[in-house]
Structure 1
Amino acid sequence: WVYLSTLIKILIFFLMVSCCICFQPSFLDFLHRVLISNLQTEIEKQIGYRSSRKRRSEFQYDYEVYHPLEEIRSWMFEMNRTHPHLVDLFSIGQSYEGRPLYVLQLGKRTRPFKKAVWIDCGVHAREWIGPAFCQWFVKEALNSYQHDSSMRRLMNQLNFYIMPVFNVDGYHYSWKTDRFWRKTRSKIPKYHCRGVDANRNWKVKWCDEGASLHPCDDTYCGPFPESEPEVKAVAKFLRKHRKRVKAYISIHAYAQMLLYPYSYKYATIPNFNCVESAAQNAVSALYSAYGVRYRYGPASTTLYVSSGSSIDWAYKNGIPYAFAFELRDTGYYGFLLPETLIHPTCTETMRAVKTIASGLLKKCTK
């Protein structure tokens, strides 16, 4: 009887498993699920074959496709040429491979010492939606200046420093060679690996938790703080203008989050209430566009602990509002966010950034 009972249990178990496999295909999803069936095809949709993609003239610049570095640079010069009363173009230095690090200054020349907002995009090369947003922001700010009273007020009372591509060498490399490249392109002595994570290279708890000392890792912190000329150039500019720059915003992807300090430790920043309120308002404004939900909070607890980050550095150097956006999506497309999603992603992010900027015109007393 004992043997018969055991045999019956075994038969019932195998029958249940067979039923799950035969009649419930979703059972196999626990093992794996294919998100993108042909990765190369998705990459080619974005990189082009650009010769077969419909090209537009400079006067019909397409903000709903991804652009290589050369086209973004030409676009920056065009913005400077066609909007001389609102735009200044300048370089803050050179990259490791000798490319200029261009920044656009947006704002009405009303007085010399206005408050300022810094926005950088493309710190990590493969996050192409970042540079797309920076271009979108400039386009929207300039085109709506005359008819949008809220944007006109921001442009009159604030200056915006926009760096569309922070990691110019890495971004160029992601177009030409490796679509998923993340780091800069500096050479590391005695190693065949190249590049440093530009968001682990800042002089704040450098190369502590969440960063790597190994040059071949994606989170390599570099041989020393500000070893990367790109990081050093931005840090130098922000130190020079720290009395006027009141908000630092860095655009990344992906995760749908709005993060603020600290990244390197589990601790509450002194002006937590003001920053938390600004983040909440920004996420609410973003949600109002298409109903997309963003999480928000300190980077260490909302995402993960990381040392040597730009938002921690900005905050430690006197910029009271330091934010990092992680734009769409949450992992289905990841770094290969389709061009069809550029418009909604940038539209909703524009609302969030405008909300943060508008908050600077009000005094937070919390």
Structure 2
Amino acid sequence: VHLIIRIYFSFSTKPAIFMDCGIHAREWISPAFCQWFVKEALSTYGSDSQMTSLLDQMDVFVLPVFNVDGYDYTHKSNRMWRKTRSKKSGSSCIGADPNRNWNAGWCTIGASSNPCSDTFCGYSPESEIEVKNVADFIRRNKSIIKAYLTIHSYSQLLLFPYSYTYDLAEHHSELLKVAEGASAALRSLYGTRYTSGPGATTIYPAAGGSDDWAYDLGVKYSYTFELRDTGRYGFLLPESEIKPTCEETMLAVKYIAAYVQKNLY
């Protein structure tokens, strides 16, 4: 069961931003940020002019924990679990990588067809119920969703399509400009440096990702955040880094949101 939080302050159908956290179970800083975003949006509405303007003019859909069963498993059994927890009759291997399961160059590069692999692409596109439900939601609302943001860790990167091909996206120049502006906004708080660029050349080629799928669906402003750090702690980011990570990431998300708000298409 998914809980998608819709932050809105009027009942009209407005342009929207969709943001999800926790696709990969072990990336705990990701769900922490989605919760931080919701808290900040609700508590600063009316006092923060940028947030107030955003929520007056746009809806924000927030999925705090995408991979609920996997996330629960990391708390109870295996802290480093990445995949979903789906089962297939006849196989002893559990789950698929929900960020290799989208119908965007599915299982062609940077993904595995081995069900035991951490990057298993699944038995078919959208075979994972989590992916299917979110894809259905975005498809139903694609006329209003103008930006897609997915929050991961780690590496301090701000990525955009494509990851399933080395070809540049149609809107590459604009996507790069926005990413670099958002990275600069993030850096302004604590000096944390992010690298911006297409997924395939900036981190590694990987087919079946949600940002590529959303972009190909028509959501132009499609971005993947890889939050702190660059490897010292990795997925085991200490509690002391939660607040500064969320604070600086908020600046980048607000930068992208403000740009989208001014450049609706």
TM bucket, shorter chain: over 0.9
Partner of 1:354: 254
Show CA shifts across 1:32-65 (max 9, x none): xxxxxxxxxxxxxxxxxxxxxxxxxxxxxxxxxx
Residue 61 (structure 2) pairs with residue 155 (structure 1):
no
Counterpart of 2:37 (choices 124, 133, 137) is 137
Name segments (4+ residues, structure 1) moved above 3 Å.
none
Deviation at 1:193, TM superposition (A): 1.3
Tell me which residue corresponds to 2:3.
Answer: 102
Q: Are the aligned partners of 1:188 and 1:215 in contact in 2 as well (CA < 8 Å)?
A: no
Q: Cα distance, 1:189 vs. partner?
A: 2.8
Cα deviation digits, residues 61-91 of structure 1 (max 9, x gap): xxxxxxxxxxxxxxxxxxxxxxxxxxxxxxx
Letter in 2 for 1:227: S
Equivalent residue for 1:187, pick from 87, 106, 114:
87
TM-score (norm. length: structure 2)? 0.98
Pairing partner for 2:133 from 228, 233, 237: 233
Q: Which residue of 2 aligns with 1:283?
A: 183
SS in 2 for 1:172: helix
Displacement after TM superposition at 1:331 (Å): 0.5
Aligned partner letter, 1:105: R
- Partner SS, residue 112 of structure 1: coil
Deviation at 1:235, TM superposition (A): 0.3
Q: Which runs of 5+ in 2 are unaligned?
A: none
Q: Which amino acid aligns with 2:3?
A: Y
Aligned counterparts of 2:235 and 2:118: Cα–Cα separation in 1? 15
2:68 aligned residue:
168
- Amino acid of the structure 2 residue aligned with 1:176: K
Tell me, what secondary structure is at the counterpart of 1:361? helix
Shift of 1:364: 8.1
Q: Distance between the aligned counterparts of 2:85 and 2:74, measured in 1? A: 11
Give the match's secondary structure for 1:101. coil
Q: Counterpart of 1:102 in structure 2: which amino acid?
A: L
1:277 deviates by 1.3
Q: 1:248 to 1:188 in 2, by over 3 A?
A: same
Instruction: Tell me which residue corresponds to 1:330.
Output: 230
Q: 1:246: which partner in 2?
A: 146
Give unpaired runs (5+ residues) of structure 1.
1-99
TM-score normalised over the length of structure 1: 0.71
Contact preservation (8 Å) 1:274, 1:364: no
Structure 2 Cα separation of the partners of residues 348 and 329 of structure 1: 13
SS of the residue corresponding to residue 296 of structure 1 reads: strand
Q: Is the 8 A contact 1:118 1:160 kept in 2?
A: yes
Q: Distance in 1 between matches of 2:240 and 2:88?
A: 38
Residues 195-216 of structure 1 show CA distances to partners (whole Å, capped at 9, x for unaligned) of 0000000011111110000000
Aligned length: 265
Work out the CA distance in 2 between the residues paired with 1:147 and 1:322: 28
Q: Summarize deviations over 1:314-363 as a string: whole Å, max 9, x none.
A: 00001001100000000110000001000000000000000000001223
For residue 223 of structure 2, give the secondary structure of its aligned residue in structure 1: strand
Contact 2:146 2:264 in 1 (8 A): no
The residue type equivalent to 1:202 in the other structure is W
CA distance in structure 1 between the aligned counterparts of 2:64 and 2:14, rounded to whole angstroms? 22
Instruction: Specify the code of the residue in structure 1 equivalent to 2:7.
Output: L
Structure-2 residue corresponding to 1:23: none
Q: How does 1:15-164 map to 2 (within 5 A)?
A: 100-109=1-10, 112-164=12-64
How far off its partner does 1:222 sit? 0.5
Partner of 1:258: 158
Kindly name which structure, 1 or 2, has the bigger radius of gyration based on alpha carbons: 1
Query: What letter matches 1:280 in structure 2?
Result: E
Displacement of 1:254 after TM fit?
0.3
Aligned to 1:94: none
Match of 1:306 among 206, 228, 236: 206
Distance 1:331 1:346 in 2: 18
Superposed displacement of residue 113, structure 1: 2.1
Letter in 1 for 2:83: K
